[in-house]
């Protein structure tokens, strides 16, 4: 790890194909700055991405990375972290990726408390497939597949995380660059699963959850004097569907990450040239 | 005296059938006898017929036969299920004091032992199966002391009192038969000084994985693959590894993929429906050129089929599963020792060629325990080849003019360099999208063709560099050729003893790439392909390879091939017409 890493070192030379004004630009910049700020460099960082606009992030960032299949980024991140406790693992996804097809994995990654950060670019719509309802779309949000709205309540990812036993729950806004970066940094530094839901507006298909909407409605928890270690206070904020919050909602200060609980400390890439020296004991066990 | 003895215990699931059978099998193994076990069980936890069968001989045994000599029957159904295999020299041990009246065929010797009462005398009714083991020892002339070590192994964890009580129960069972019956069926189980190990195919796969340096395993419980995960859990930690029980098979294979990207030798295993779920990620593994071993322990399908029954029906899935065209290796062990060695090889192939490797086993092999000399698993023979894994010093050779690592570099042999996280200047992305040498998405026609060709060139390279050999039995010059794959090998090898015709047998452990058998097929008058499925998936491949028609023996009852039954089928096929 070199100390002179700049956030631009995490940038690839590929120009993003996101729509001009997409919230994902700000989300990604914050992620890169947070990684650099927390002392990581591209050679010891692994970024896992799913499918969708958010999934393109692995292409635009420079690090070890895998761009996988829809909804399965968290299991991949879990595997990387277990094999390599020495490597910084960041998983990026979207609301469809994380809370629809990947919802099952989300619940289990949260309860395992794997030591990685999970940044979800939540634009409350399916962008890359040109504007269908997502699990976080409002119940009256009209789209090509839901002309009268989905008529079902949106998933509350923060509540889902809380109910699953999360040790770190936060929310940020792509456009509030500094706060977003700070929050992602806290997620990285957290010993365990650092979950950040990011409001990342889709300027092409979502004319409801816009930059202006979030600017007008966002309440910063830090300014409100919220104590993230207070579980009851966190619960109240997370279940409050009348407001949009940003900041760290909940953090378990006693969090022990999965690999530590299971005594995994070694770099699993190191193996002997042949069978281990005491391997015949494996055979003798069957006498 | 008979050369080999076929013993079985049967009852309801939950009656301790499995552990009793295992104790006897271990005792026989300790006595230097060869053992081959088979299990018949229903897909339920309690109740339902279940049996554990043992064939034992001083010579190697590698199949079941249609004969049962000693049957410990805890229920009438046990007798009914096996009545066809009982003969004049058979004995049925049963407990007449129980609330059923045993209906035993006239020619068979019934040995009524008050198993429960004797067990109670020895310390508890729960030991009634151990009493039956003692009774079986008396009837077969097998020294009851051989049971002691197996009882210690089984019950040692529960305290010395329980072990001693069981030893006592076995002796009381033996004495009861000695005092009340004068059975002489001519059995006299010879012992030897040989030291054998007794293990099943899934244990051999797990052991192979550890020997090969597997450090990460993720799986979701499914019959009959779960015992691989159970074996690794509790052992892989000794080597700094870890097993994750994932939330589903989708997660399991993606975790394994992640660990492999991290540089660990990584594996997952499943069966039937689980393979279907994993297929989604299978293409990604190949497209991202990630070394990964995926074991499929086949069972009867389709859908949930018969989860506890034998079948070799997933071959087409292993070969063709997944959308698009996916370069892969398909390796199918033919025996329990092969389960070990092919697992080691699967890890090497995966890393040398940066490709998924399907390790295709089956239920019969996974639950069958067999004795081997420990040298059959000689760890000194294990070699590890990590392929083109580059370190900090070698990375430079593979950087482009801008200093970017060419993780998917187009090379002559199709194999690219591989840098794992932490390698300086090796940072790169891989993706399931078509990509250029750097791993970046592309739809450029030339780059697409280059990458597709590159990935398939790895297979060509492997075809040239590796030995895709096979095993042969019988008479190599015979006009009759029998070909098989997977776990049928043992039954085929023993079928030769029953056959009057001269037969050349070829058992193939590689499905893709596979050996070219065209010459052998052309040289033979009759070619029969044996497999445990209905449609003859391997036979189709051989017909395709050799451009000729072959005869087929297909069994899809859910029960494995038996040596004597197979011999009969081969004889019948040899005199039958060749299909049009």
pLDDT in tens, A226-247: 999 999 999 999 999 999 999 9
> Distance (Å) from the C-alpha of residue B391 to the closest C-alpha of chain A?
12
Candidate from B30-44, B114-128, B200-214, B513-527 with smallest mean pLDDT:
B30-44
Is the CB of A59 less than 8 angstroms away from the CB of B261?
no
At A282, phi and psi to the nearest 5?
Answer: -60, -35
- In this complex, the residue of A47, A104, A279 whose CB is nearest that of residue B211 is A279
Which pLDDT band holds residue B580 (cuts at 50, 70, 90)?
low
What domains appear along chain A, each with residue ranges and CATH number? 7-286 (3.40.50.970)
Is residue B194 a part of any domain in this protein?
A: no
Is residue B230 a part of any domain in this protein?
A: yes
CB contacts, 8 Å: A265 with chain B: 240
- Do B285 and B168 lie in one domain? The reply is no
- Do B403 and B541 lie in one domain? The reply is no
CB contacts, 8 Å: A42 with chain B: 427
Listed in sequence order, the residues at least 6 apart from A70 whose beta carbon sits closer than 8 Å to its beta carbon are A50, A51, A52, A55, A96, A97, A101, A102
Is the CB of B382 less than 8 angstroms away from the CB of A279?
yes
* Interface A-B: count of C-beta contacts within 8 A: 219
* Continuous segment of H or E residues that includes residue B318: helix B315-320
Is 60 exceeded by the pLDDT of residue B540? yes
- Do B235 and B345 lie in one domain? The reply is yes
**E strand residue ranges, B302-442:** 329-331, 356-362, 369-372, 429-431
Using only C-alpha atoms, chain B has a radius of gyration, in whole angstroms, of: 26
Instruction: Output the pLDDT for position B233.
Output: 97
> Distance (Å) from the C-alpha of residue B192 to the closest C-alpha of chain A?
15
> Distance (Å) from the C-alpha of residue A12 to the closest C-alpha of chain B?
10
Instruction: Output the pLDDT for position B2.
Output: 58
Is residue B192 a part of any domain in this protein?
A: no
Is the CB of B210 less than 8 angstroms away from the CB of A266?
no
Instruction: Output the pLDDT for position A1.
Output: 44
Q: Can you read off the two tokens belonging to residue B233?
A: 């859990």
CB contacts, 8 Å: A280 with chain B: 374, 379
- In this complex, the residue of A62, A63, A75 whose CB is nearest that of residue B246 is A75
Is the CB of B251 less than 8 angstroms away from the CB of A104?
yes
Domain boundary among B413, B434, B465: B465
Instruction: Output the pLDDT for position B99.
Output: 67
Listed in sequence order, the residues at least 6 apart from B157 whose beta carbon sits closer than 8 Å to its beta carbon are none
Average pLDDT, chain B: 95
Q: In terms of CA atoms, which chain A residue is nearest residue B212?
A: A275
Average pLDDT rounded to a whole number, residues A102-112: 98
CB contacts, 8 Å: B244 with chain A: 78, 82
Which among A275, A278, A284, A287 is the top mutation candidate for probing chain B, defined by the most B β-carbons within 10 Å of its own β-carbon?
Answer: A275
- Do B436 and B451 lie in one domain? The reply is yes
Is residue B191 a part of any domain in this protein?
A: no
Q: Can you read off the two tokens belonging to residue B89?
A: 């020299």
Is the CB of A264 less than 8 angstroms away from the CB of B250?
no
Average pLDDT rounded to a whole number, residues B5-29: 95
Listed in sequence order, the residues at least 6 apart from B93 whose beta carbon sits closer than 8 Å to its beta carbon are B70, B71, B72, B73, B111, B113, B132, B135, B136, B139
Is residue B254 a part of any domain in this protein?
A: yes
Q: Specify whether the CB–CB gap between A167 and A251 falls below 8 A.
A: yes
pTM attached to this predicted model: 0.96
Q: In terms of CA atoms, which chain A residue is nearest residue B250?
A: A72
Instruction: Output the pLDDT for position A205.
Output: 96
CATH, residue B528: 3.40.50.920
Is the CB of B264 less than 8 angstroms away from the CB of A84?
yes
Distance CA B518, CA B149 (A): 51
**Per-residue model confidence as pLDDT tens digits over A170-223:** 999 999 999 999 999 999 999 999 999 999 999 999 999 999 999 999 999 999
Work out the burial of residue B182: count CB atoms within 10 Å of its CB; fewer than 13 is exposed, 13-18 middle, 19 or more buried: exposed
**E strand residue ranges, chain A:** 45-49, 64-67, 88-94, 117-122, 168-173, 194-199, 218-220, 244-251
> Distance (Å) from the C-alpha of residue A270 to the closest C-alpha of chain B?
8
- In this complex, the residue of A72, A81, A84 whose CB is nearest that of residue B263 is A84
Which pLDDT band holds residue B182 (cuts at 50, 70, 90)?
confident
Instruction: Output the pLDDT for position A3.
Output: 59
**Per-residue model confidence as pLDDT tens digits over B393-420:** 999 999 999 999 999 999 999 999 999 9
Using only C-alpha atoms, chain A has a radius of gyration, in whole angstroms, of: 20
Q: Specify whether the CB–CB gap between A132 and A80 falls below 8 A.
A: no
Is residue B14 a part of any domain in this protein?
A: yes
Which among A75, A263, A265 is the top mutation candidate for probing chain B, defined by the most B β-carbons within 10 Å of its own β-carbon?
Answer: A75
Is the CB of B263 less than 8 angstroms away from the CB of A268?
yes
Is the CB of B265 less than 8 angstroms away from the CB of A263?
no
> Distance (Å) from the C-alpha of residue A179 to the closest C-alpha of chain B?
28
CB contacts, 8 Å: A274 with chain B: 379-380, 382-384
Determine the 3-state secondary structure of B269 from DSSP: strand
| Terminal alpha carbon distance of chain B | 48
- Do B320 and B460 lie in one domain? The reply is no
Is the CB of B422 less than 8 angstroms away from the CB of A43?
yes
CB contacts, 8 Å: A273 with chain B: 384
Is the CB of A66 less than 8 angstroms away from the CB of B199?
no
Domain boundary among B127, B151, B180: B180
> Distance (Å) from the C-alpha of residue B560 to the closest C-alpha of chain A?
24
- Do B367 and B417 lie in one domain? The reply is no
CB contacts, 8 Å: A44 with chain B: 421-422
Which pLDDT band holds residue B47 (cuts at 50, 70, 90)?
confident
Q: What DSSP string runs through B214-250?
A: EEEEEE---TTTHHHHHHHTTTGGGGT-EEEE-SSHH
Instruction: Output the pLDDT for position A2.
Output: 47
Instruction: Output the pLDDT for position B438.
Output: 96
Instruction: Output the pLDDT for position B1.
Output: 45
Closest CA to A24 of A229, A274, A206, A203: A203
Q: Specify whether the CB–CB gap between B332 and B511 falls below 8 A.
A: yes
Distance CA A131, CA A147 (A): 11
- Do B35 and B115 lie in one domain? The reply is yes
At A221, phi and psi to the nearest 5?
Answer: -65, -30
- In this complex, the residue of A47, A63, A79 whose CB is nearest that of residue B259 is A79
The tally of domains found in chain B comes to 4
- In chain B, what percentage of residues exceed pLDDT 90? 93
CB contacts, 8 Å: B22 with chain A: none
Is residue B152 a part of any domain in this protein?
A: yes
Candidate from B3-17, B278-292, B533-547 with smallest mean pLDDT:
B3-17
CB contacts, 8 Å: B250 with chain A: 72, 75, 105
Distance CA A86, CA B64 (A): 51
Is the CB of B429 less than 8 angstroms away from the CB of A58?
yes
Work out the burial of residue A273: count CB atoms within 10 Å of its CB; fewer than 13 is exposed, 13-18 middle, 19 or more buried: exposed
Q: In terms of CA atoms, which chain A residue is nearest residue B153?
A: A287
- Do B148 and B84 lie in one domain? The reply is yes
Which among B255, B326, B395, B436 is the top mutation candidate for probing chain A, defined by the most A β-carbons within 10 Å of its own β-carbon?
Answer: B255
Candidate from A151-160, A231-240, B37-46, B163-172 with smallest mean pLDDT:
B37-46
- Do B347 and B452 lie in one domain? The reply is no
Q: In terms of CA atoms, which chain A residue is nearest residue B265?
A: A269
Domain boundary among B332, B357, B381: B381
Is residue B566 a part of any domain in this protein?
A: yes
Distance CA A43, CA A37 (A): 15
Q: Specify whether the CB–CB gap between A170 and A193 falls below 8 A.
A: no
- Do B154 and B37 lie in one domain? The reply is yes
Distance CA A242, CA A234 (A): 15
**Tokens 């469809």, located at residue:** A96
Is the CB of B262 less than 8 angstroms away from the CB of A66?
no
- Do B44 and B22 lie in one domain? The reply is yes
**Per-residue model confidence as pLDDT tens digits over A128-185:** 999 999 999 999 999 999 999 999 999 999 999 999 999 999 999 999 999 999 999 9
> Distance (Å) from the C-alpha of residue A280 to the closest C-alpha of chain B?
6
- Do B283 and B333 lie in one domain? The reply is yes
Is the CB of A272 less than 8 angstroms away from the CB of B212?
no
Candidate from A161-170, B24-33, B40-49, B264-273 with smallest mean pLDDT:
B40-49
- In this complex, the residue of B213, B384, B426 whose CB is nearest that of residue A43 is B426
In which domain, by residue range, is B113 found?
A: 5-180
> Distance (Å) from the C-alpha of residue A105 to the closest C-alpha of chain B?
7
Is the CB of B257 less than 8 angstroms away from the CB of A264?
no
CATH, residue B170: 3.40.920.10
CATH, residue B369: 3.40.50.970
CB contacts, 8 Å: A269 with chain B: 215, 262-264, 420
Which pLDDT band holds residue B184 (cuts at 50, 70, 90)?
confident
Distance CA B165, CA B183 (A): 26
Instruction: Output the pLDDT for position B378.
Output: 97
A220: number of CA atoms within 13 Å, CB side? 10
CB contacts, 8 Å: B255 with chain A: 75-76, 78-79, 82
């Amino acid at each position: 790890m070199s100390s002179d890493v700049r956030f631009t070192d995490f940038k690839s030379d590929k120009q993003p194909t996101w729509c001009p004004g997409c919230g994902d630009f700000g989300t990604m910049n914050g992620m890169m700055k947070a990684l650099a700020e927390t002392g990581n460099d591209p050679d010891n960082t692994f970024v896992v991405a799913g499918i969708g606009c958010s999934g393109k992030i692995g292409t635009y960032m420079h690090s070890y990375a895998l761009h996988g299949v829809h909804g399965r980024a968290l299991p991949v991140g879990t595997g990387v972290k277990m094999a390599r406790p020495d490597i910084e693992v960041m998983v990026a996804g979207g609301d469809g990726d994380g809370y629809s097809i990947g919802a099952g994995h989300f619940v289990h990654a949260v309860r395992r408390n794997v030591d990685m950060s999970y940044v979800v670019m939540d634009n409350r719509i399916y962008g890359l497939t040109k504007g269908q309802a997502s699990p976080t779309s409002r119940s009256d949000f009209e789209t090509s597949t839901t002309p009268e709205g989905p008529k079902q309540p949106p998933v509350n990812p923060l509540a889902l995380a809380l109910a699953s036993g999360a040790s770190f729950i936060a929310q940020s806004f792509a456009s509030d660059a500094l706060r977003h970066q700070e929050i992602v940094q806290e997620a990285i530094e957290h010993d365990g699963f650092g979950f950040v839901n990011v409001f990342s507006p889709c300027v092409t298909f979502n004319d409801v959850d816009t930059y202006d909407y979030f600017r007008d409605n966002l309440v910063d928890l830090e300014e409100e004097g919220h104590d993230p270690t207070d579980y009851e206070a966190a619960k109240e904020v997370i279940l409050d569907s009348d407001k949009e919050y940003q900041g760290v909602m909940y953090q378990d200060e006693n969090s022990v990450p999965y690999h530590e609980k299971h005594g995994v400390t070694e770099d699993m890439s190191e193996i002997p040239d042949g069978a281990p020296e005491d391997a015949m004991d494996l055979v003798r066990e069957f006498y | 005296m008979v050369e080999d003895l076929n013993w079985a215990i049967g009852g309801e699931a939950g009656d301790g059938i499995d552990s009793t059978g295992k104790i006897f099998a271990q005792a026989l193994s300790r006595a230097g006898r060869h053992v081959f076990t088979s299990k018949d069980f229903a897909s339920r936890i309690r109740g339902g017929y279940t049996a554990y069968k043992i064939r034992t001989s001083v010579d190697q045994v590698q199949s079941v036969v249609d004969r049962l000599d000693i049957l410990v029957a805890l229920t009438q159904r046990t007798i009914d299920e096996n009545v066809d295999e009982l003969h004049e020299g058979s004995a049925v041990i049963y407990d007449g004091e129980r609330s059923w009246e045993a209906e035993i065929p006239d020619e068979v010797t019934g040995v009524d032992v008050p198993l429960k009462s004797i067990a109670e005398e020895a310390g508890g009714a729960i030991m009634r199966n151990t009493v039956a083991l003692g009774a079986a020892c008396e009837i077969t002339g097998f020294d009851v002391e051989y049971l002691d070590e197996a009882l210690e192994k089984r019950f040692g964890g529960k305290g010395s009192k329980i072990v001693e009580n069981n030893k006592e129960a076995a002796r009381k069972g033996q004495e009861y038969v000695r005092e009340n019956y004068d059975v002489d069926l001519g059995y006299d189980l010879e012992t030897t000084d040989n030291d054998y190990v007794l293990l099943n195919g899934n244990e051999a796969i797990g052991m192979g994985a550890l020997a090969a340096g597997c450090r990460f395993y993720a799986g979701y419980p499914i019959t009959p693959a779960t015992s691989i995960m159970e074996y690794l859990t509790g052992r892989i930690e000794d080597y700094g590894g870890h097993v994750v029980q994932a939330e589903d098979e989708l997660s399991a294979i993606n975790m394994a993929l992640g660990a492999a990207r991290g540089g660990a030798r990584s594996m997952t295993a499943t069966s039937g429906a689980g393979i279907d779920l994993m297929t989604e990620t299978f293409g990604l593994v190949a497209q991202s050129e990630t070394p990964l071993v995926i074991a499929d322990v086949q069972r009867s399908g389709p859908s949930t089929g018969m989860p506890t029954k034998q079948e070799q029906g997933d071959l087409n899935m292993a070969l063709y599963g997944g959308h698009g065209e996916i370069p892969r290796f398909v390796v199918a062990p033919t025996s329990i020792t092969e389960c070990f060695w092919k697992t080691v090889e699967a890890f090497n192939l995966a890393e040398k060629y940066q490709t998924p490797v399907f390790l295709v086993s089956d239920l019969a092999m996974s639950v069958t325990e067999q004795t081997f000399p420990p040298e059959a698993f000689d760890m000194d023979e294990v070699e590890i080849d990590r392929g083109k894994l580059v370190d900090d010093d070698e990375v430079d050779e593979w950087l482009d003019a801008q200093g970017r690592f060419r993780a998917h570099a187009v090379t002559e042999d199709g194999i690219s360099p591989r840098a794992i996280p932490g390698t300086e200047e090796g940072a790169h992305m891989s993706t399931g999208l078509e990509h250029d040498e750097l791993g970046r998405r592309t739809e450029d026609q030339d780059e697409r063709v280059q990458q597709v060709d590159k990935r398939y060139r790895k297979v060509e390279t492997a075809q040239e560099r590796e030995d895709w050999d096979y095993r042969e039995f019988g008479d190599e010059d015979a006009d009759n050729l029998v070909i098989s794959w997977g776990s049928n090998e043992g039954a085929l090898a023993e079928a030769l003893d029953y056959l009057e015709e001269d037969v050349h047998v070829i058992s193939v452990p590689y499905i893709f790439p596979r050996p070219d058998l065209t010459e052998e097929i052309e040289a033979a008058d009759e070619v029969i392909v044996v497999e445990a499925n209905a449609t003859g998936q391997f036979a189709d491949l051989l017909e395709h390879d050799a451009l000729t028609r072959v005869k087929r023996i297909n069994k899809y009852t859910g029960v494995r091939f038996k040596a004597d039954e197979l011999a009969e089928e081969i004889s019948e096929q040899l005199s039958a017409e060749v299909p049009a």
